């Protein structure tokens, strides 16, 4: 890899262990990352958020119409998608890419969402913002609050559509975070993976078909989103996603001379070199522990949440389970008793809290007293071994 290109691949560990840890046996082996023309780029696992590749991913840049992912996310979260939205003069006169809606027409919020994400309509963005928040300014405030809540700290929005404006910026990493959050909503996934959609003007009941601007959907294997963006300041931008074998990756390329090629090479490299693994299944036991003074002699130990990791294809990971040798009754399932850690060099430690699978009640006092008394009797004592 050429470090002078300021490109970086985040290497994930290659270590083999048993359930309680062990020593690494070989280093991770990846084919060279693709050479990209994009000014900034990132490749992220959609499930875990793991970063597999980055190039200037935290640089503040003009996001152009990739902004509309946040607009769609907020509208979908707020619902009422069958509500009819009258098109205002402000929406009608919004410059740039357009859904070609006219003042006085009415569309459902769902149809405007389709026009926002497929046709990248700036007019649809303004109409949705006015409908959802009452004003564009208030809606933009919601966008910025939501960005902060997602951890997109290098992002500031000034409008809901992405036309260039001072103070309107994001980064490849932040846009991947926003895409990841939006893709958790089935409706968003359904719209952005569609090649076309039909929308209806509600007053005249005129129907028309719109088509996506995302060319990857027409030929890239597994492509299922997400959003294009282009302005003279931002250049050509793309957030692309693809799913293969039930594993989804998100690629972001900003200011690219070949956004389709850059995104395709990045996604292909990710699928060829990495794999997603589930190490823990929610509420499935991973260990047993003896219980002192309990009505049961043992209790199973479980995680309440599954744990997935992304590692170089064919490599193993090191895991460490931290648990006491024994537990003392009474035991409640909500009380944490330990942790399961995954140690991957170059990445933060992944951990899951561990809990008893079920409650264990305390034995009656008389039964505990009798057992202690028996332990004091001479015939219950073990003689030390003779030398």
Strands 350-356 and 338-343: antiparallel
- Which residues have CB under 8 Å from 75's CB, separation 6+? 81, 109, 113, 128, 132
Active site residue 149: no
Residue 314 to residue 145: CA distance in whole angstroms: 41
The answer to whether the CB of 99 falls within 8 A of the CB of 210 is yes
Cα-trace Rg, the chain: 27
- Which residues have CB under 8 Å from 138's CB, separation 6+? none
In 3D space, the residue among 377, 363, 367 whose CA is nearest the CA of residue 291 turns out to be: 363
Residue 371 to residue 277: CA distance in whole angstroms: 46
Enumerate the β-bridge partners of residue 250: 44, 241
Q: Which residue among 120, 171, 194, 241 is the active-site one?
A: 120
Strands 287-292 and 327-328: parallel
Q: What phi, psi does 39 have (nearest 5°)?
A: -65, -35
Q: DSSP readout, 138-187?
A: HHHHHHHHHHHHTT-TT-B-SSSS----TT-BB-HHHHHHHHHHHTTSHH
* Helix, strand, coil shares, percent, the chain, to 5: 30, 30, 45
Active site residue 120: yes
- The SS3 call for residue 4 is helix
- The SS3 call for residue 34 is coil
Count of beta carbons in the 10 Å neighbourhood of residue 49: 14
Active site residue 236: no
- The SS3 call for residue 215 is helix
Q: Which residue among 65, 88, 170, 241 is the active-site one?
A: 65
Q: Which residue among 55, 68, 227, 363 is the active-site one?
A: 68
Active site residues: 65, 68, 120
């Amino acid at each position: 890899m050429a470090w002078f290109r300021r490109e970086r691949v985040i290497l994930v560990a290659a270590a083999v262990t048993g359930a309680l840890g062990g020593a690494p046996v070989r280093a991770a082996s990846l084919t060279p990352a693709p050479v990209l023309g994009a000014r900034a780029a990132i490749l992220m696992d959609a499930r875990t958020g793991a970063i597999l590749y980055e190039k200037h991913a935290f640089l503040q840049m003009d996001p152009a119409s990739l902004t509309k992912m946040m607009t769609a996310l907020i509208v979908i979260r707020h619902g009422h998608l069958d509500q009819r939205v009258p098109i205002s003069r402000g929406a009608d006169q919004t410059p740039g890419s357009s859904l070609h809606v006219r003042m006085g027409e009415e569309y459902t919020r769902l149809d405007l969402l389709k026009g926002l994400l497929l046709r990248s309509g700036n007019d649809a963005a303004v109409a949705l913002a006015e409908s959802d928040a009452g004003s564009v300014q208030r809606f933009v405030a919601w966008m910025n609050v939501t960005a902060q809540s997602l951890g997109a700290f290098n992002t500031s929005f000034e409008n809901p559509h992405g036309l260039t404006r001072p103070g309107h910026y994001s980064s490849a990493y932040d846009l991947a975070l926003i895409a990841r959050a939006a893709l958790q909503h089935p409706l968003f996934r359904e719209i952005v993976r569609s090649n076309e959609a039909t929308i209806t003007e509600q007053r005249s009941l005129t129907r028309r078909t719109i088509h996506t601007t995302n060319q990857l959907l027409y030929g890239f294997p597994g492509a299922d989103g997400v959003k294009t963006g282009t302005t003279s300041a931002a250049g050509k931008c793309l957030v692309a996603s693809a799913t293969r074998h039930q594993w989804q990756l998100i690629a972001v390329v900003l200011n690219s001379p070949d956004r389709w090629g850059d995104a395709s090479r990045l996604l292909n490299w990710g699928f060829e070199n990495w794999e997603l693994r589930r190490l823990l299944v929610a509420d499935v036991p991973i260990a047993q522990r003896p219980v002192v003074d309990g009505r049961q002699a043992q209790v199973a130990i479980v995680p309440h949440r599954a744990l997935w990791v992304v590692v170089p294809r064919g490599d193993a990971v090191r895991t460490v389970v931290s648990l006491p040798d024994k537990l003392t009754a009474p035991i409640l399932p909500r009380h944490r008793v330990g942790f399961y850690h995954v140690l991957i060099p170059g990445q933060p430690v992944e951990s899951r809290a561990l809990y008893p699978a079920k409650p264990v009640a305390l034995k009656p006092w008389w039964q505990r007293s009798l057992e202690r008394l028996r332990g004091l009797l001479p015939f219950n004592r073990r003689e030390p071994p003779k030398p």
